[in-house]
């Protein structure tokens, strides 16, 4: 089935170029020039992935990504940020907003399509994941949801798709130490270049989602080695 990809880009020439590249890659593009139009496209059809420009009129792409990560309808949609801002702090800011990947302008259609395929492949792999429980944390793989089982009740935990993949990997490989490079290979995949600091950003985001339930200590830093997930805290 053809995947639908929402392009949120205010410059018509770039938007048309992206749409052409997507069609050549056998994807169906949905087009929006700003935040309002993007919300309208999503209301009409929930896309399989969003290409989001950083610099948009009115609401910025960064602010839009944060909003979508808070809303139930868009929380699990993968987002690739399109940006001319190649500085590390800007890239980290995008990742902390919940973006799954980023492409720095100018970029080739080949690079863009490779990143789209990689992100969609990771998202598809999530659908095949089963349920798992470690201590008070539980993942319902069929529902694609995370729960904290505390005080005789199940409390839902909201998190982005990258944090979900990271947590699922940790929970299915508990009590083992993994380096940043190993986590990048297992969670992000080895076919797309992602900086090692990306792991640290998502570890912080994952811990932040677990903090309200006092479970953040399950994600442990092993000094000089990497990270470990453990119910023994």
Q: Domains, the chain, ranges and CATH? A: 4-123 (3.40.50.2300), 132-229 (1.10.10.10)
Q: Is pLDDT larger for residue 124 or for residue 42?
A: 42
Mean pLDDT, residues 160-177: 89
At 226, the pLDDT band (50, 70, 90 cuts) reads very high
For residue 137, which of 222, 213, 221 has the smallest C-alpha distance?
213
Q: Token digits for 7?
A: 């392009």
| Opening angle at CA 201, ends 197 and 204, nearest 5 | 135
pLDDT given for residue 123 in this prediction: 67
DSSP code at position 192 = S
Q: Which of 44-53, 88-97, 109-118 has the lowest mean pLDDT?
A: 88-97
Burial of 163 (0-12, 13-18, 19+ CB in 10 A): buried
Of 10-14, 38-42, 130-134, 216-220, which gets the smallest average pLDDT?
130-134
Residue 192's pLDDT is what?
56
- State the Cα–Cα distance between residues 147 and 137, nearest whole angstrom: 6
pLDDT on residue 60: 87
186 CB-contact burial (10 Å; exposed 0-12 / middle 13-18 / buried 19+):
middle
Residue 15 has pLDDT above 70, yes or no: yes
Sheet holding 49-53, edge to edge: 28-32, 4-8, 49-53, 79-83, 101-104
Residues 12-36: what's their mean pLDDT? 94
pLDDT of residue 120: 84
* Predicted pLDDT of residue 7: 97
Residue 99 has pLDDT above 90, yes or no: no
Query: Mean pLDDT over all residues of the chain?
Result: 86
Dihedral angle computed from the Cα positions of residues 170, 175, 181 and 185, in that order, rounded to the nearest 10 degrees: -40
Query: If you average pLDDT over residues 20-33, what whole number do you get?
Result: 94
Q: What is the pTM of this model?
A: 0.60
Better pLDDT: 102 or 23: 23
Please give the share of the chain, as a percent, with pLDDT higher than 70.
Answer: 90
- Read off the pLDDT band of 90 (50, 70, 90): low
Residue 59, classed as helix, strand or coil, is: coil
Average pLDDT over residues 187-209: 82
């Amino acid at each position: 089935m053809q995947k639908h990809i929402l392009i949120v880009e205010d410059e018509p020439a770039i938007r048309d170029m992206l749409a052409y590249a997507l069609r050549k890659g056998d994807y169906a593009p949905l087009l929006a020039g700003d935040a309002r139009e993007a919300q309208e496209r999503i209301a009409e059809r929930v896309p399989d992935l969003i290409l989001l420009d950083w610099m948009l009129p009115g609401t910025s792409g960064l602010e839009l990504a944060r909003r979508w990560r808070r809303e139930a309808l868009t929380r699990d949609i993968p987002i690739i940020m399109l940006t001319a801002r190649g500085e590390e702090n800007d890239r980290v800011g995008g990742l902390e907003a919940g973006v799954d990947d980023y492409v720095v302008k100018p970029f080739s259609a080949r690079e863009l399509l490779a990143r789209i395929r990689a992100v969609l492949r990771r998202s598809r792999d999530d659908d095949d994941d089963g349920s798992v429980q470690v201590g008070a944390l539980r993942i319902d793989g069929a529902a694609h949801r995370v729960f904290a089982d505390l005080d005789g009740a199940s409390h839902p935990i909201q998190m982005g798709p990258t944090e979900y993949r990271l947590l699922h990997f940790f929970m299915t490989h508990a009590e083992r130490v993994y380096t940043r490079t190993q986590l990048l290979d297992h969670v992000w995949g080895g076919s797309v270049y992602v900086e090692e600091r990306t792991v640290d950003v998502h570890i912080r985001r994952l811990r932040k989602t677990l903090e309200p339930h006092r479970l953040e200590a399950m994600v442990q830093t092993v000094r000089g080695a990497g990270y470990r997930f453990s119910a023994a805290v």
